[in-house]
Structure formats: structure tokens, C-alpha cells
Structure 1
Amino acid sequence: MLQYLYAPLSQQKSKDEDLEPQTSQQGDSTSHLLRLAYVGSIISSLLSLFLFGHGYWDSYHVIKASNPTLRRPSTYMYLEKVTTTPKVSPPQIFSFAHILLQIDTKDPHRKLKEDSRWYQSNFGEIHPDDRHFLVSSQVNTVVQFRNLDFGMENCHLNPTIPTNITSFDTQLNVDPSSELDIWMLDNSWELSRHVEWNTAPARRSHFATISLSGGGHTPVEFRCPSTSFSTFEFSCSKRTPDCHIEFWQMSGVPLNGVYLVQHASLIK
């Protein structure tokens, strides 16, 4: 008959007891990593938003603070190399200004603004594509034309006062003693409603002086290369510093307001 002898076990911790503190330590480490990842994701998101906002503001500020130069591709490439010239003069082109802008005469930065008007109708508010011309002791007006067509590069400016037009309200307000100076401005960049601008181009030269009481204006011809711009500024002359000429103009017939006349330049 077998006999079993029993011996008392030594006082040692079980494997389960050994694993308990290790499991707890791993749990604390995982929670710590999750908290770090959470904080890191928040910081990364905030940093991304900051950089996006900062970049957008910088790009907006650069566009707003500068006068961008728009380069339109020429549609008349190499036509100047063609030796044949037309023998019959083509008809004149009457070009209306694509934009009229106002300047405060006391503003040293020559900031530009555009006036607009609207009508109330049965369909709601209507904002027509009218142009505001205003010259006074407080305000000058900048007018820009886009020179059209190849071979029509002899131009003259025709500033007129609108006549009575039954279908269009010009809101005419003119002091007949007014005399205006016309300045040719820097034409190297385009004034456009599609690009933000803030300051007027610099004056390049005195172009002409017109007097309403003098009974007319002698056209001054100048060179107007195709696909470029002709930009003018109207101001009160020194002889009539308190002049006032104001009206609204629109493109149409009869011709009214300030417009450009282009003549053929290739006829021999």
C-alpha cells in the first residue's frame, strides 16, 4: 500500500497574482497614450485651421492691397507682319467705358469706389449697368476703355453731356460754368469688376482741358494700341475749383456721356 507524504508549500505568489500589477500598469500606459493622441489631434486641428485662415487672409490682403495687372492674350497675333493694308477705311468704332470709378480729391492714397443705383419694380430690385460720372470739388472720376480691334489704333476721346433721353434717366446736374482737366493715367493694368482694386493709377500727363461755356471740345487724337487700355481722370480745373458735373450714362444710341472713338491706323 502506497503512502503519500505531504510537504507544506513555500509562501510564493501565484502567477495570477504576479500578473495583476502588470496588467494594471499596461492599462495606465494605454490610457496615457490615448490622452496624448487626443490632445495631439486637437492641437493639429487648431494649427491647421490657423494656417488655413492665415494663408487666406494673406492672399486676400495681397490682392486687396495691390493693383493686379491682367494680361489678356492678343487675338491679333502676327497681323502686324502682314504687308497688305486695306485701301478703304473701315467705319469708326464708338467704345463706351467699361468702368467709371470715383476718387475723393482729399485722399492722398487715391482710393477708388464705384457708385451704383437701383430701381424698385414688381419683380424686386433692379440694378442696371449704369455708369456714374461725377466731378466736383470733392470728387474726381476715373474712366477706362479697352481699346478694340487691330488696325483701329488712332483714337480721340469724346466727353459730352447727355442729351434728353426719354428712355433713360440721366439725373443731370451740371454747372454750365464748369471747366474740367483731363489727365492721361498709367494704362499698364486693367480696372475690372472681377478683380479687387483699391487705388487709382498714377497720372502720366495732362491730356486736355474742356469748358462747358466755351461751346465745344476740340478732339485730341492719341495712339491706342489694340487690346490695351486707355485710362483718364477728370477733375475740376484751377480756374473753376468749385465745378460740378454729374450724370449717369449707359451704352446705347443716341451716344451720351464719355466715350472713345477709334479710327483706322493702317490706311496709306
Structure 2
Amino acid sequence: MHLVNSSGEFQLETMYGDEEQDRLLPDGCTTSLESSVVVERKPRSPMAVVIALLILLVTVDIGACLYIGYYLHIALSYQDLEVSEYRNPYVNLEKLYSLKNSTTRYKPIVNTPRLAVQVSSLHPDHLYDPKHHIYEPKFGTLSPPDKHLIVNPNTHTLVQFRTIDFGMEKCSLFLRLPPISASVPHGFHFDNNTVLDVCSLDIDQPIDTRVLTWAHRPRCKHDIGTFIARPGQEVPLISSGSSDSYTFPCKWGTLHAFEISCSAETPQCGIDIWSNEDAAWGMLSILYLAGVFIGLMLSMAGLAMYQFQTV
């Protein structure tokens, strides 16, 4: 080696070239500029891992809370519950019955009205709440599903049914009254020669009794027929302009509302009767037909719907 004076400083320089230096160094060692530098990494602190996991969990929790809170806000702020869709519980039954196999035949079933309420032309802006009977036996207060039918020159009764059964989707209205001499739980008033008109109302959602008055009742869509009321008998609704019973389609999950009033034939008619579970008198009945008329079920008369099989 020799000394070299460069820029006023002495440097030690070997007389050997790079190749010779490499041969003189032990195996695995190198002095080239490309030699790798090994850096020893310190192990990650356990506390840092814990903190990172906590941050991740908190972030996920906040996101989940925001997601749930958003949908709760939507659910709780929804006001139009009365017009919500009826979800279909009958999945693929149409396909099942379309196979045209022989199916079990069922007798008619009864569906009572969900609502019966009165309005009066004498008080066009008066709110008439649906009337209910209240009993107070020893074991608590009871309010049975009794329905009140009142029709006179100034008072009309509005009734609404909901059909809920698959395959019972053709309907007919019937009215049954007790004999004049019958002993009924809540009295019975009937004027002779009473003929009642029935009008189909233009509404496909539940009637809101909180705003129901004579002046603000559903519009009459069209007259569908008349009842010739006879005490002690069950009579069908006769179609307007014919002598046949009136029938109409009533798909499951739909609502059907009607207004009952005195006919022009008997403008001074009068009827006042309660129906109840023990003696369901004085009520409309909707029969569900299977394309042909099946005999009346007199033992299940009243304001109700007889549902007949259609599949």
C-alpha cells in the first residue's frame, strides 16, 4: 500500500485491485459498493397491536350503530302504516294449484267485518266512533267484537271486510235478520217493507274512523244491489237490474267497503240490530264461491263473509 496526499489530506490506499482484495477476504465477505447491509428489526410492541385492534373494533361498532340507527329512524318515522303492503304468506301456492290435481274441497268459511260504523246526514261533521259493548266480569274487562247495524232515512252504516284466505276469492253479500218475536241480547228494531241499497265504496285501504264523517266519507263507486229484508230469513244481495245474486271477485289480502242505506222504494225504512258471537243477527254476510252456489249456512248467519273455495 502507499500514501496518497489528496486535497491536503493523507489517505491510505492499497496497492491491490478490487479483485485481489476480494480474493484475500474470507468467504462470504465483500467490499463492493453493492454489498447488502443487514438491519436488525426491533420486535413489534404488544401494546401497539392491542391499540390497533381496539381502534378497528371501535370503528366497526360506530359503523354498525350508524347503520342500525339509520334504519330505526326510517322505521319509526314512517307514518302511513295503514297503507302498508300486506305481505304474501302464500308462497308458490298458485303454482301448486295450477297442477290441476284433485284438491280437497272445503266448506265455506265465515269472515266477519273488521269495521261497522254509522254516519248521519243530520250531523254531517260529527265523528261517529265504532260502537262497542263493554262487559266487566269478575276476571276483567271484555269488549267482544259485536257489530252494530243501523239504517234509517238519516243514518247509513259503513262496513268493511278484509279477505285473507287464499283460494276463497269469489264473494257474495247476504243479510240475515231474526224473527220479530226472537229474544236477542240487545234488542231489535225493524220496520216492515224495508229495502236496503248497498253501494261499493271507492277505497282500498282501511277506513280511518278518526276523520270519518258524513261529509268526509269514502265516495260511492257504484250501486251494486239491494236487500229485501225479511225477519227470520237470510236473503242474498240482488244485483241492480237483475234477479240474480250479486257476486264479485275478492282476492286474498284485499279490503272491501260498502255503504248501506234505505232504498228509494222504502225511503222511511228502519233497522237497528246488534250482532255478536252468540247470535250474529242483522249483519251482512259475504259468501266466497267456487264458481257455483253452495247452500247457505244458516247456523253461521250475521254480518260476516262466507268464503267458498275457488281452487
TM-score (norm 2): 0.55
Q: 1 or 2, which has the higher helix percentage?
A: 1
Partner deviation per Cα, 1:79-123 (whole Å, 9 max, x = no partner): 334422453432211111121111113566795531233346566
CA contact (8 A) 2:204 2:256 kept: no
Please, which of 188, 204, 207 is the counterpart of residue 221 of structure 2? 204
CA contact (8 A) 1:68 1:197 kept: no
Distance 1:162 1:105 in 2: 28
Partner deviation per Cα, 1:162-189 (whole Å, 9 max, x = no partner): 46876x6142111121110011112410
CA contact (8 A) 1:70 1:190 kept: no
1:155 aligned counterpart, secondary structure: strand
The answer as to 2:91 corresponding to 1:84 is: no
Instruction: Report which of the two structures shows the higher radius of gyration computed on alpha carbons.
Output: 2
**Letter paired with 2:132:** S
In the alignment, structure 2 segments of 5+ residues that lack a partner are 1-76, 239-244, 280-298
- What residue number does 1:223 align with? 249
Distance 2:250 2:126 in 1: 25
- What residue number does 1:260 align with? 305
- What residue number does 2:176 align with? 160
1:80 aligned counterpart, secondary structure: helix
Distance 1:264 1:124 in 2: 39
> Post-superposition shift, 1:232?
1.2
**Letter paired with 2:251:** P
CA contact (8 A) 2:200 2:259 kept: yes
Q: Equivalences for 1:19-168 in 2 at 5 Å?
A: 68-82=82-96, 83-85=98-100, 87=102, 88-106=104-122, 112-119=128-135, 126-162=142-178
Distance 1:73 1:124, change over 3 A: closer
The answer as to 2:200 corresponding to 1:174 is: no
CA contact (8 A) 2:153 2:262 kept: yes
Query: Looking at both structures, which has the greater relative contact order when contacts are Cα pairs under 8 Å and sequence separation is at least 6?
Result: 1
Distance 2:81 2:269 in 1: 30
Once superposed, what is the RMSD of the aligned Cα atoms?
A: 3.3
Distance 2:134 2:277 in 1: 17
> Post-superposition shift, 1:78?
3.8
Distance 2:126 2:264 in 1: 19
Distance 1:200 1:76 in 2: 33
Please, which of 259, 272, 282 is the counterpart of residue 246 of structure 1? 272
Distance 1:192 1:85, change over 3 A: farther
Distance 1:213 1:203 in 2: 25
CA contact (8 A) 2:195 2:265 kept: yes
1:235 aligned counterpart, secondary structure: strand
Percent identity between the two aligned chains: 25
User: Which shows bigger deviation, 84-93 or 208-217?
Assistant: 208-217
Partner deviation per Cα, 1:220-249 (whole Å, 9 max, x = no partner): 211000011121111011121111111111
Distance 1:203 1:67, change over 3 A: farther
In the alignment, structure 1 segments of 5+ residues that lack a partner are 1-58
1:242 aligned counterpart, secondary structure: coil
Distance 1:189 1:148, change over 3 A: same
Distance 2:128 2:99 in 1: 44
- What residue number does 1:16 align with? none
Distance 1:137 1:122, change over 3 A: same
Distance 1:148 1:203 in 2: 24
Distance 2:230 2:133 in 1: 29
Give the aligned length: 200
Distance 1:89 1:175 in 2: 40
